[in-house]
Structure 1
Amino acid sequence: MDSHNQDTDQPTRQRVARSILVNGPSTAAALAERLHLTPAAVRRHLDHLVEEGAVEARDPRPAGHRGRGRPAKVFALTERGRDGFEAQYDDLANQALRFLADTGGEDAVRAFADRRAAFIEERFPAVAAAHPEATPAEVLALVFSDEGYAASVRQLPVVGEQLCQQHCPVSHVAHEFPQLCEAETAAIARVLGTHVQRLATIAHGDGVCTTCIPGSTTEKKEQVTS
């Protein structure tokens, strides 16, 4: 296939991938019906997406098969395929924040960052009540993990605890707009009632976001539970 055909096929290929993203693993027949394409066209696009590593073919679950013959394979997005969509969303978010900065200035961007970080203070009390055995840092890890940050807590002798986020859903955007990280750090400090310090961020090229939490928060928890 020449490059011209590949260029004209790209929008349709994106529709196929997006349909899988939205609806979950799908058969070629289901995609063809959903997108009003011929099965042959869908299979051609799927073959290309599989070759790119954006989609993988899987055997369907046995419970979903009825009738005779081998059940049709389903096609699912790979991690690479999902990353492609995340990159598009990052570009859109960057454009939106640049527009906000141009029209509303620094205060508008900071207000947006504060609004986005509000989930930390909003969810902390309920999660803490549901997990009375957890330290405040561990409660934060649960809150962040629910938001897609893959967070955990590391105990540090003498110092206290360290909140570690293995993934950051807004890292690419926060690279240009550090106000997002600053708002999260401020919200963490408010719910803990103590000063905390960001030691590293994925947005600045580190492998993990780490926030140092003084030992006093652990001691407070021990006093409450004793």
Structure 2
Amino acid sequence: MIKRTPGGCVPWLSLPSELRNNGVVKYVGEASQEELATGERSTRNRVARSILDHGPSTVSELAGRLGLTQAAVRRHLDALAADSVVEPREKRVYGSRGRGRPAKVFALTDCGRDAFDQSYDQLAADALRWIARTAGGGAQGEAAVAAFARARIAAQAAAYHSAVDAADPDRRTEALAKALSTDGYAATARDAPNRLGEQLCQHHCPVAHVAEQFPQLCEAETEFFSQLLGTHVQRLATIAHGDGVCTTFIPRATAPTTHHASDSTAGRNPA
């Protein structure tokens, strides 16, 4: 399960992949046609990147580095500040301060730093490989990773239990989908084609790249859905496996059971 962004930051949407590795900042929402036509969005990325590379900067410093007018820099800074990417501060002065008001500089906020691509996926994968290796490798290593995946979900399970337990019996899957969407999974619930159950569809997976290497993450999530809904569930597709949507089949059950999703299907497409 994904945690909400620390500090209440708004989730960022990725820019095209050809830009993603250049450390560009990712903004909320869709760029307007005017922004796309004039390159406004690209220039704001350059302004934010310059602050990241050089530290808190004045309007004059940014204008000089980027070859822009100070008026243009101020306009972009206003937009970045409105998106909580940068914030104005007084310039720190070392030694004796001269006369006049201290110069104002613009610095990246915590949200602004988070807007740049990070190596979190690689860090997570490295950590899980270390867990597997330290546990002895092989089956023991896989079991250790699975135990971590279950513990990770258990630590965040309370909100999901509250949402599902408060729902009417025939709306529990829908309640789970709404709770998942709140945590960034863009989930929906719909009737399965055979009308014998429902499909829980997660259109986004924050850990997909890591789950490609460690399917235990998907398997633990599927087991959690089974326990939460009180019925056997079957994972039909996953983003980590290369599918467009993570899809879980949830049968209509008249009474709760203690069956869990099987390892043969959870996190992987059934053969």
Q: Does 2:212 align with 1:192? A: no
1:103 to 1:94, Cα distance in 2 relative to 1, 3 A: same
Match of 1:67 in 2: none
1:166 to 199, 203, 226: 203
Q: Does 2:206 align with 1:144? A: no
Match of 2:55 in 1: 35
1:101 to 1:46, Cα distance in 2 relative to 1, 3 A: farther
Kindly indicate which of the two structures has a greater share of residues assigned to helix: 1
Cα contact 1:141–1:151 (8 A) shared by 2: yes
Deviation track 1:38-91 (CA, whole Å, cap 9, x = no partner) reads 5455454698xxxxxxx9984876xxxxxxxxxxxxx99xxxx95x625x2111
- Please give the alpha-carbon distance, in whole angstroms, between the structure 2 residues aligned to 1:137 and 1:97: 30
User: Any idea what SS the aligned residue of 2:226 has?
Assistant: helix
1:90 to 100, 114, 121: 121
Q: Does 2:146 align with 1:103? A: no
Number of residue pairs aligned between Structure 1 and Structure 2: 174
Match of 1:66 in 2: none
User: Identity, % of aligned pairs?
Assistant: 44
Query: Cα RMSD over matched residues?
Result: 4.2
Structure 2 counterpart of 1:142, which letter? K
Deviation at 1:122, TM superposition (A): 2.1
Deviation at 1:125, TM superposition (A): 3.0
Structure 1 residue runs of 5 or longer lacking an equivalent are 1-12, 48-54, 62-74, 222-226
Structure 2 counterpart of 1:189, which letter? S
TM-score computed with the length of structure 2 as normaliser: 0.52
Cα contact 2:180–2:187 (8 A) shared by 1: yes
Cα contact 1:120–1:188 (8 A) shared by 2: no
- Please give the alpha-carbon distance, in whole angstroms, between the structure 2 residues aligned to 1:36 and 1:172: 33
Structure 2 residue runs of 5 or longer lacking an equivalent are 1-21, 29-43, 69-75, 83-107, 136-140, 257-271
1:112 to 148, 160, 165: 148
- Please give the alpha-carbon distance, in whole angstroms, between the structure 2 residues aligned to 1:145 and 1:214: 21
User: Any idea what SS the aligned residue of 1:123 has?
Assistant: helix
Deviation at 1:158, TM superposition (A): 2.4
